[in-house]
């Protein structure tokens, strides 16, 4: 038995019947564009949130977290009634989404674990939501289409948990494909999978600075983007979102108050960088990604103001390490992780060197690891 299965048996007094798993995601490029109806290019990674579970024959949904040994419980008949701690609100919000759609809910016991760092910008919350949705589906004997599951989980995070995130994380965790990145248009929700270059792996370099979208200036950045749209509309622009602007339109912002022009410049140029990155990946031109990633990093730092010295230091350390072809901050910023593209044969040397050079700059890293791109959320039966 796995450590997670052992924990389930210890807490609930019997072995689990099935497991659900949802991967984290790393965003290759396309930061703060998703809630502006823009373009993103994430990839699911091999580290995941995993839930071991069994139907319990009651109307209670009982949760146990291996992370801190905490427990939570709520009713399948009125899933939104209980006031639960922060981590438990994610599966609770998914259950509320089931109830709102008239989907059946059954009592289930669940132990939650996994190897996905929390607060590193790898979508641990979306992974927990997707794994929880699969948990509730399997317990009830139903199966949602992956896109519908992603939308339900996104709604849970925005409407129930209260985090104004975009749709990218849930789509990446649900629709990921091994060996591919996912190109997502956040306005149309059209997707296509782009094969990952042979011999290249994703490296995640955690700065050790914890951040959470719910307690960062993330909501302020969203508000600034909305304010910029209204400012442009008041001056005759027919745009609905910043997605409707092209780089040629940026001159219209010469009179915009600071920081609106800088926020818009980041979103517009980042959308263009997503297209350039997708074309480079499809053409196998990994070398071209170095400057594109660096431009994204600088734009996030200077125009969107979500950088930190630790993120700059980790990008520098990564680019100085063996086998690195590109690196930039990933996720919402304000801390978290750097994503790098690294030759597989150099992976071990890259990790050791990047960590050492980051420490040499006076910082203390979190976990650094490499990963192949992975498949999306799934369920597995446990057979004795």
| Unique residue bearing structure tokens 């922060």 | 86
- φ, ψ (nearest 5 deg) of residue 72: -150, 155
DSSP symbols for 215-233: GSTHHHHHHHHHHHHHHHH
Contact between 126 and 153 under an 8 Å Cβ cutoff? The reply is yes
Q: Token pair for residue 20?
A: 């659900």
According to the 3-state scheme, what is the secondary structure of 81-123? CCCCCHHHHHHHHHHHHHHHCCCCCCCEEEEEEECCCCCCCCC
| Unique residue bearing structure tokens 């995941």 | 48
- Give dist(CA 112, CA 376) in Å, integer: 18
Residue 302 appears among annotated catalytic residues: no
- Give dist(CA 160, CA 125) in Å, integer: 13
Question: Could you tell me where the DSSP H helices lie in the chain?
Answer: 3-12, 89-100, 124-140, 146-155, 168-175, 218-234, 260-282, 289-302, 309-319, 347-360
Burial (0-12, 13-18, 19+ Cβ within 10 Å), 32: buried
User: Would you call the peptide bond into 158 cis, given omega within 30 degrees of 0 as the criterion?
Assistant: no
Given 109, 169, 206, 303, the catalytic residue: 169
Task: Provide the CB-side half-sphere exposure for 311 (13 A, CA).
Answer: 27
The catalytic site residues sit at 169
């Amino acid at each position: 038995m796995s450590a997670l299965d052992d924990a389930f048996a210890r807490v609930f007094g019997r072995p689990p019947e099935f497991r659900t798993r949802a991967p984290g995601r790393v965003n290759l490029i396309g930061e703060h564009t998703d809630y502006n109806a823009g373009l993103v290019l994430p990839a699911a990674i091999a580290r995941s949130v995993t839930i071991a579970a069994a139907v319990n024959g009651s109307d209670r949904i009982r949760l146990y977290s291996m992370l801190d040994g905490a427990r939570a419980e709520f009713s399948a008949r009125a899933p939104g009634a209980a006031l639960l701690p922060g981590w438990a609100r994610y599966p609770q919000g998914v259950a509320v989404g089931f109830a709102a759609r008239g989907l059946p809910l059954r009592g289930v016991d669940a132990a939650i674990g996994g190897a996905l760092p929390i607060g590193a910008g790898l979508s641990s919350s979306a992974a927990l939501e997707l794994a929880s949705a699969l948990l509730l589906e399997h317990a009830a004997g139903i199966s949602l289409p992956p896109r519908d599951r992603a939308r339900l989980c996104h709604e849970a995070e925005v409407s129930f948990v209260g985090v104004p995130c975009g749709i990218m994380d849930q789509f990446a965790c649900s629709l990921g494909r091994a060996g591919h990145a996912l190109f997502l248009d956040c306005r149309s929700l059209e997707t296509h999978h782009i094969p990952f270059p042979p011999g290249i792996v994703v490296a995640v370099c955690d700065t050790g600075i914890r951040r959470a979208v719910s307690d960062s200036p993330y909501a302020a950045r969203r508000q600034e983007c909305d304010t910029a749209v209204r400012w442009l509309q008041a001056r005759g622009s027919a745009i609905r979102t910043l997605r409707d602007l092209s780089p040629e339109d940026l001159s219209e912002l010469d009179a915009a108050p600071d920081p609106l022009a800088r926020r818009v410049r980041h979103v517009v140029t980042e959308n263009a960088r997503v297209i350039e990155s997708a074309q480079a990946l499809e053409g196998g031109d990994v070398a071209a990604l170095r400057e594109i990633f660096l431009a994204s990093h600088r734009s996030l730092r200077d125009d969107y103001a979500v950088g930190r010295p630790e993120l700059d230091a980790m990008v520098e350390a990564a680019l100085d390490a063996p086998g690195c072809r590109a690196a930039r901050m990933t996720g919402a910023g304000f801390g978290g992780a750097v994503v790098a593209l690294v030759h597989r044969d150099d992976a071990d040397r890259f990790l050791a060197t990047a960590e050492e050079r980051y420490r040499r700059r006076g910082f203390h890293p979190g976990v650094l690891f490499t990963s192949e791109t992975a498949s999306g959320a799934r369920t597995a039966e446990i057979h004795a």
